[in-house]
Amino acid sequence: AVFDTSFHQTMPKYAYLYAIPHDYYDKYKIRRYGFHGTSHKYVAQKACRILGVDFESQKIITCHLGNGASIAAIKHGKSVDTSMGFTPVEGLIMGTRSGDVDAGILLYLAEKENLSIKEVNDVINKKSGVLGISGLSSDMRDLENAAAQGNERAQLALDMYYYRVKKYVGAYAAAMDGVDLIIFTGGIGENDPILREKVSTAIDFMGIDFDSEANKGVRGKDKLLTKPSSKVKVMVITTNEELVIATDTANIVKELKK
């Protein structure tokens, strides 16, 4: 088996533990596990090969943005933090998942709406995210089209989505004491030039000289999106999780045969 969480097992204890009684970690192993590990690993290594730099010398932030979405901080070849947690619901706003939410809200809703645990789970996993905010769709393309026609809630959903991505990128740059490379991947990351520009230009103070012309119309291909003068590079990289799984499987089988 190849686990989607395995790449994130290098996170330090202070990053993966939650501030709940430690007994729950001892009894149930409640901690941050993270997901999309195969994708984060693959695109980070692929980008370094394209740039001709050593993967283990770089500070990289990978943004896997699809209907499910997560961001990872990769320092010198190892994952040191990631936005998804014990379950895939934590972190970024997603298609139908809430992402980060005050846990007290869930208790409040359960009491006020007389919701069961299963019903609360449905709210945060299936009825929230950009779908819940917009009341329209979980598809970013639908929201961008609606926003262009003046739909205020569609625009709000987009603004909230961009903001959460920007906030996590900034936090992970701080966690690693800097960043050399930011990567966009996944169905949205690879195919949404608007999102890439909105996020990248908002954090240009970090040393990003974004190339808007290079970004235009880029969908589903690998490309550098910053100018030569940029201190921090931004790239769009196509992911291939199946290839990582196949490669890891082949390496394991090779070791078993020795």
Tell me what pLDDT residue 21 has.
98
For the chain, give the mean pLDDT.
96
> What do you get for the CA distance between the two ends of the chain, in Å?
19
Enter the pTM of the model: 0.95
Check residue 100 and give left, alpha or beta (phi > 0: left; psi -120 to 50: alpha).
beta
Q: What are the C-alpha distances in Å from 76 to residues 35, 82, 160, 181?
A: 19, 15, 31, 12
Q: Determine what percent of the chain is predicted with pLDDT higher than 90.
A: 91
Q: Which residue has the higher pLDDT, 207 or 258?
A: 207
Cα dihedral: 39, 43, 45, 49 (round 10): 160
Read off the pLDDT of residues 110-130 as tens digits, 9 standing for 90 and up.
Answer: 999 999 999 999 999 999 999
Across the range 177-201, mean pLDDT stands at 97
Sequence ranges of the domains in the chain: 6-95+163-256
Q: What is the dihedral of CA 159, 160, 166, 171, to 10 degrees?
A: 160
pLDDT, average across residues 209-231: 97
Q: Which whole number is the average pLDDT over 241-250?
A: 85
**204 is known as an active-site residue:** no
Closest CA to 196 of 228, 172, 175, 223: 223
pLDDT at residue 39, as a whole number: 96
**In what order do the strands lie in the sheet containing 233-236?**
78-82, 69-75, 59-65, 181-185, 233-236, 223-224
Provide the CATH number for the domain formed by 6-95+163-256 in this structure.
Answer: 3.30.420.40
What is the full DSSP assignment across 50-102? HHT--GGG-EEEEEEESSSEEEEEEETTEEEEES--SSTTSSS--SS---S--
pLDDT band at 207; cut points 50, 70, 90: very high
pLDDT score of 243: 87
Judge contact between 201 and 210, C-beta under 8 A.
Answer: yes
Identify whether the C-beta of residue 161 lies closer than 8 Å to the C-beta of residue 93: yes
Task: Tell whether the model's pLDDT for residue 241 goes beyond 90.
Answer: no
- In this predicted structure, the answer to whether residue 1 has a pLDDT above a threshold of 80 is no
Catalytic residue among 4, 81, 192, 211: 4
Residues 6+ apart with CB under 8 A from 229: 209
The per-residue pLDDT for 73 is 98
Q: What is the pLDDT of residue 242?
A: 85
Which residues in 172-198 are b (16+ Cβ under 10 Å) and which e? Answer: bbebbeebbbbbbbbbbbbbbbebbbb
